[in-house]
Structure 1
Amino acid sequence: MPMKTEAVIFDLDNTLINRKLAFRAYSEHFIDRFASVRDARQKEEFVEFMRVSDRDSYRDKREMALECLAAFPLKNPETTAEELLDHWFAEFYNYTVLMDGTLDVLERLKRKNIKLGLITNGSPHAQHAKIDKAQIREYFDVVIVSGEAGFHKPDKRLFELALSRLEAKPENSWYVGDHPRNDVFGATSAGLKAVWLRGFMDWHRDLDEPEHRIDSLDEIIALIDKA
């Protein structure tokens, strides 16, 4: 007899919120604010430069600021890396945008009396700001940010911590995320049923193929119903 799903835990960036779209919108604003741009083509080149420099959010932001400072012709030549960094932390969360279907999925899971958790890598300031901007905190029984926990995904201790706080067994719990190693491998190593949300990162060839994969958030409902 199948076991009842006790909990579903989500990643944040490029899972519940579309960081890819948010980063592009922020990059356009950043360039308008700080760079002297010749034309639309050059602006697009600068946007692409920032996308590559960001490394899917895994680049140290000070390093990225220094790289932009060196690469862009600035409106004010006296602009410092600290100013660029301050701008990032003050403004980026304002560009947070929900992934298609996020609210519907969270509400449907809540109606099933399933506990909900959120685990995200990053700094407490940045990640909590995005969660609140997206107005989704109320859906979660547990929110864990790696910068507060002291270790980050794929460390299985993060997943075990979430399960402990949710009072849920790993074999009766799901984890949904876009990152092959941090999300799928990490959750699997902690005994959860991991689901890879495709479309943002290529699968890592050194990892076993995922058992569960989806192309949109709402597909998680059917997976749970069939379990």
Structure 2
Amino acid sequence: MTSLLLIDLDETLVDRDAVLQDWAWETARAEGRLELADWLIAYDRAEGRVRDRASFLAGVAATFGWQQPVEQLLAEWPAMFGARYQLDEMVAAALRRARQAGFRIAVVSNGDVGRQRAKIEAMRLSELVDGCVVSGEIGVRKPDPRIFEIAAERAGTNLDGQVWVIGDDPVADIGGGHGINARTIWVNRSHKHWPSGHLEPQAHFDDPVRAIEHVIDDASP
């Protein structure tokens, strides 16, 4: 029976907030406006969610006086931000151990295909996993079971065996995992409280390495 690990990208495999902070400080420094670095970091989100990128870039352009149209900034954003993503070597080593233990692994990410693929390429994930799927390229988002089915297919298997889902989002990842009867592990980097009213994960950790190691141990006879 195949063991399948489905794992999220942003805030799971990589600390997106840390990447954003680096970009914000570098951008503010380049513009000679260091006092706006914290504003950039805060403006990234609206009501607790990542702000729509067109809205975000329009606001940033207005604040810094950039003349490029938003459409051009959107086209440049994957290289401007996604190319900064680097996978920590300890996370990469954990993924290698999972594959050595017999797991098929697929990355499952909600988002724009260009932006997410830029991150995937920068992280060199194709060398470490069996498949990747981005909602923007298939028109289906987590927690819809179909995106997990497609991810399993790209990893060369299906959802009939043992399946684990690792992610940071209580609805998209953990709820989605429950929807396909998978075992679920919550990566809680920022030490939040679990939101009431949502099905709880089987386990939770503050970093992806421990989460992946838990899955390997959980599958061991």
> 3-state DSSP class of the match of 2:44?
helix
Deviation at 1:97, TM superposition (A): 2.6
Equivalent of 2:70 in 81, 88, 99: 81
Equivalent of 2:6 in 6, 9, 16: 9
Equivalent of 2:205 in 214, 218, 226: 214
Structure 2 unaligned residues grouped into runs of 5+: none
Q: Distance in 1 between matches of 2:64 and 2:68?
A: 11
Match of 1:103? 92
Alignment of 1:177-188 (within 5 A): 177-188=167-178
Match of 1:123? 112
Match of 2:54? 62
Equivalent of 1:28 in 4, 13, 25: 25
Q: Distance in 1 between matches of 2:90 and 2:181?
A: 27
Q: Distance in 2 between matches of 1:141 and 1:45?
A: 38
Deviation at 1:79, TM superposition (A): 4.8
Q: Which amino acid aligns with 2:167?
A: G
Q: Which amino acid aligns with 1:163?
A: A
Q: Is the 8 A contact 2:40 2:60 kept in 1?
A: no
Give the share of equivalent positions with the same residue, in percent: 25
Structure 1 unaligned residues grouped into runs of 5+: none
Deviation at 1:32, TM superposition (A): 3.5
Q: Distance in 1 between matches of 2:215 and 2:205?
A: 9
Higher gyration radius (CA): 1
Match of 2:43? 50
Q: Distance in 2 between matches of 1:201 and 1:222?
A: 18
Q: Distance in 1 between matches of 2:185 and 2:5?
A: 10
Are positions 1:205 and 2:196 aligned together?
yes
Aligned residue pairs total 216
Instruction: Indicate how the Cα distance of structure 1 residues 90 and 224 shifts in structure 2: closer, same or farther if over 3 A, else same.
Output: closer
RMSD over equivalenced CA pairs, Å = 2.5
Are positions 1:194 and 2:184 aligned together?
yes
